[in-house]
Chains A and B, each alone.
Chain A
Amino acid sequence: MRLTRRDALAALSGAGITLGGGVAALSRESVDASEAGPSLDDTLATLTAAAEVVYPSDVEGIEAFVEAYSLGRIEGRDEYLAGVHDATVALDETALSWEDARFAALAADRRDTVLRQLGVPTADEDPDGTRAERVRYYVVNELLYALYASPTGGELVGIENPQGHPGGVASYQRGPR
């Protein structure tokens, strides 16, 4: 299954974010990231690296999808961006101290290990919680929400109009294909 920037826009529209200029308007330059904190490039690289671990292996096109979705989410939401920064920096710091490299620079299985050793699988998401709970909130669950509230992600598990997606009122009436 291939994710596209168009899927990201569908996921964003479910989250109430519509971009005037459509796909074309989404670029790193268009997002006015605050001066403080890590660069936007680093943040997007960390999110993409995490998505490669938490998304199923049959999903392609992750980088473009994550970039478009995350830019849409960040735009105009300073508090949210601060939360994402904080969580991605925490991931990097952990990776540096345990694996001697930034999170995005690790091989996929090492990234998986870092997330597990942090305790993220059993952490309850909480924007104000422990490091693991914040990573679960701003990184892992953010990415899972983007995927599974979108029609493409929903289809992977059998529902083309998942909760949170405005997929119309025909699908509930249809029988299995």
Chain B
Amino acid sequence: MTDVCVVGAGPAGALVADRLAAAGRDVTILEAGPRFDETPDTERMERSIRPGHAPTEVWEMGGPRDAYSASGPDFYPLNVARVKGVGGTTNHWQGMVYRLHEADLSGENNPPSWPLSYDDLRPYYLEAERAFGVAGASDDPYAPPREEPHPLPAFPPSYSDSLFAEACESVGVTTHAAPNARNSEPYDDRAACVGYGTCKPVCASGAKYSADHTVRQAEAKGVDLVTQAPVQRLETDAAGERVTRAVYVRDGAQRTIEAEQFVLAAGGVEIPRLLLLSASDAHPDGLANSSGLVGRYFHDHLFAGMGGTLDEPTRQNHVGFITTESHQFYDDPGAGTGEIPARDGDLAPFKLEFLNYAGPSPVAMALREDAWGDELRDRLADAYGTHVAMGGLVGQPPLARNRITLDESRTDDHGNPVPDVVWEIDEKTRRTIERANEIQRAILEALGVDIEWTAGPEDTGPAYHHMGTTRMSRAPEAGVVRPDCRTHDVGNLWVASSSVFPNGGALNPTLTIGALALLCADSVDASL
């Protein structure tokens, strides 16, 4: 029997396992997907550029293993929103990392409040930044207080950032560096960024943090990793008070593993699904679901964007990451500036991004045109060079009706009902996207951009952050896990994931996932 069984080898599971192993615990990770080291990342990079390979092919997503339903009202494209394998979805991610604001945790930006304060999370945030190797500057006047600088210096602003900076100043918008989980210098045995420019979905240099790095560190400390081992359900003692074993499949056979403690780190969709699949006499509505809230309050961040062309070069697509943002409106989304009108009404938090990869990448475009020779060269030279774009994320308020359930009418490759993402973009979110668009338009117009596209309330899409589905609460009837990430109902079961976020603000979640994973590991360790 092992001390701790961790389900999932993404950043959450990797950090939990690594910290527990450092504390001398015996840990086994069960991971549904493969190790990704058989195909070199350069080959995955080429797949990502070449049109002959579907986006899901880069990280081998899709098929019966990953079947899902999205019964609406809005469609959710689940399999472009996650990766299954060692490192989890951070193989594909963009690597933008932030601490949540105090007004997120207090519930002022979006309800409800967290049962944790910024001070509770603060030391863990710093440790997570060190684990990810975050490059950042302490120049964001809207960010919560930091005790120490980021572990790595920020990437300098891009040429297009300098164009934006002037325009922003003229409309009263403050810009600052964007923190990146990406090496601006060699760090922690990983290389510095070399400018491949394909960060999302793959960084072939290893400069972008991906959790397979932490898994390797954990293995070096003695952690056992079992890959291609999807957990089917958890079984408890007769009283339903403790999980006794996890049932998984390996090489076509069903196997079990016993452990003192169990940690679910399988992501914000598979965690509630696994709990629902583990229903028993003692837990008829699903394991640890006495509140009835397992799977509920699913929420994501929504994209707001706008772009067009300038009549001068903008130098895009040299790198695949963002170097400048503005969080000025984050805690006060309706606030005006001298040039931008204030807005009343209930708005959600949002942040603004200045992209370094607007418009076409010539090599990717070359492979998709119906011309070659001089004609192709001329088309590429015409299309490339003058694009600019802004992005932004809006924090969707968690709503009980948005949820992960089981679709009993369909099964996966092991005969289990598939997850159904029941999701709707609400009015407050749409209103806030409009507000973000209004500010984006003011900035782009000040820059003199010929605006060609808008991602507004009707053509927005999710940012692939799966939050809220096992929310954290002090009272057992108000949530699924306690403030230490242990489930209210089951004494030896913890959850490490954005699924525990009561609300996810409007900032990419993974640094907070990392901080909570470390907090969770401390709680597990203290229990042993």
Q: Are B195 and A172 in contact (CB under 8 A)?
A: yes
B166 within 8 A of A: no
Identify which of A124, A154, A176 contacts B313 (C-beta below 8 A): A176
Q: Are B317 and A163 in contact (CB under 8 A)?
A: yes
Closest to A162 in B: B363
Residues of B within 8 A of A15 (CB): 42-43, 46
Query: A157-B362, A164-B197, A166-B195 in contact; A145/B157 too (CB < 8 A)?
Result: no
Closest to A128 in B: B52
Beta-carbon contacts under 8 Å, B309-326 to A = 312-313, 315, 317-320
Closest to A146 in B: B363
A97 within 8 A of B: no
Q: Are B50 and A167 in contact (CB under 8 A)?
A: no
Beta-carbon contacts under 8 Å, A118-177 to B = 121-122, 124-127, 137, 140-141, 144-145, 147-149, 153-154, 156-159, 161-169, 171-176
- The 8 A CB mask of B348-387 against A (1 = contact, 0 = none) is 0000000010000111101100111110110011001100
Beta-carbon contacts under 8 Å, A1-18 to B = 14-17
Residues of B within 8 A of A125 (CB): 50-52, 367
Query: A16-B42, A148-B362 in contact; A159/B317 too (CB < 8 A)?
Result: yes
Query: A55-B373, A159-B362 in contact; A173/B195 too (CB < 8 A)?
Result: no
A57 within 8 A of B: yes
Residues of B within 8 A of A40 (CB): none
Residues of A within 8 A of B381 (CB): 156-158
Query: A15-B46, A158-B384 in contact; A148/B52 too (CB < 8 A)?
Result: no
Identify which of A112, A121, A161 contacts B370 (C-beta below 8 A): A121
- The 8 A CB mask of B180-205 against A (1 = contact, 0 = none) is 00001000000011111110000011
Residues of A within 8 A of B51 (CB): 124-125, 141
Q: Are B372 and A137 in contact (CB under 8 A)?
A: no
Closest to B372 in A: A54
B45 within 8 A of A: yes
Q: Are A137 and B49 in contact (CB under 8 A)?
A: no
Q: Are A174 and B315 in contact (CB under 8 A)?
A: yes
How many pairs of residues, A versus B, come closer than 8 Å at their CB atoms?
152
B156 within 8 A of A: yes
Interface of A is mostly: loop
Closest to A158 in B: B385
Closest to B323 in A: A172
**Count of residues in A whose CB is under 8 Å from the partner chain:** 46
B142 within 8 A of A: no
Q: Are B372 and A144 in contact (CB under 8 A)?
A: yes
Q: Are A163 and B384 in contact (CB under 8 A)?
A: no
Q: Are A162 and B50 in contact (CB under 8 A)?
A: no
Identify which of A55, A161, A163, A169 contacts B198 (C-beta below 8 A): A163
A38 within 8 A of B: no
Q: Are B195 and A145 in contact (CB under 8 A)?
A: no
Closest to A161 in B: B318
Beta-carbon contacts under 8 Å, B49-68 to A = 49-52
Identify which of A122, A148, A166, A175 contacts B380 (C-beta below 8 A): A148
Interface centre among B157, B159, B319, B367, by most chain A C-beta atoms within 10 angstroms, is B367
Cα separation A169 to B495 with both chains bound (whole Å): 38
B423 within 8 A of A: no
Closest to A122 in B: B370
Q: Are A173 and B367 in contact (CB under 8 A)?
A: no
Question: In the complex, what's the smallest C-beta–C-beta distance from A53 to chain B, in angstroms?
Answer: 6
Q: Are A157 and B195 in contact (CB under 8 A)?
A: no
- The 8 A CB mask of B416-453 against A (1 = contact, 0 = none) is 00000000000000000000000000000000000000
B40 within 8 A of A: yes
Q: Are A57 and B374 in contact (CB under 8 A)?
A: yes
Identify which of A14, A17, A154, A175 contacts B362 (C-beta below 8 A): A154
Cα separation A39 to B312 with both chains bound (whole Å): 49
Identify which of B158, B362, B364 contacts A172 (C-beta below 8 A): B158
Query: A15-B42, A16-B41, A157-B384 in contact; A163/B196 too (CB < 8 A)?
Result: yes
Cα separation A174 to B312 with both chains bound (whole Å): 14
Closest to A121 in B: B370
Cα separation A74 to B366 with both chains bound (whole Å): 22
Cα separation A174 to B309 with both chains bound (whole Å): 19
Q: Are A169 and B319 in contact (CB under 8 A)?
A: yes
Residues of A within 8 A of B330 (CB): none
Identify which of B49, B52, B197, B377 contacts A161 (C-beta below 8 A): B197
Q: Are A156 and B52 in contact (CB under 8 A)?
A: no
Q: Are A16 and B40 in contact (CB under 8 A)?
A: yes
Closest to A147 in B: B366
Cα separation A175 to B156 with both chains bound (whole Å): 13
Query: A126-B52, A148-B380, A159-B317 in contact; A141/B367 too (CB < 8 A)?
Result: yes
Residues of A within 8 A of B194 (CB): 166-169
Q: Are B363 and A173 in contact (CB under 8 A)?
A: no
Residues of A within 8 A of B319 (CB): 169, 172
B155 within 8 A of A: yes
Identify which of A16, A126, A162, A169 contacts B361 (C-beta below 8 A): A162
Question: In the complex, what's the smallest C-beta–C-beta distance from A81 to chain B, in angstroms?
Answer: 15
Cα separation A157 to B363 with both chains bound (whole Å): 10
Q: Are B45 and A164 in contact (CB under 8 A)?
A: yes
A-B contact pairs, 6 of them (CB 8 A): A16-B42, A17-B42, A145-B366, A149-B49, A162-B363, A167-B195
Which residues from chain A sit less than 8 Å from chain B, CB to CB?
14-17, 53-58, 112, 121-122, 124-127, 137, 140-141, 144-145, 147-149, 153-154, 156-159, 161-169, 171-176
17 new A-B contacts, CB < 8 A, other than A145-B366, A163-B320, are A16-B43, A56-B374, A56-B376, A124-B52, A126-B52, A145-B50, A154-B362, A156-B381, A158-B362, A163-B197, A163-B363, A164-B46, A167-B195, A172-B319, A172-B356, A175-B313, A176-B315
Top 9 A-B residue pairs of the complex, sorted by shortest distance between their CB atoms: A16-B42, A172-B318, A166-B194, A54-B372, A125-B52, A56-B377, A176-B313, A157-B380, A148-B363
Which residues from chain B sit less than 8 Å from chain A, CB to CB?
40-43, 45-46, 49-52, 155-159, 162, 184, 192-198, 204-205, 312-313, 315, 317-320, 356, 361-364, 366-367, 370-374, 376-377, 380-381, 384-385
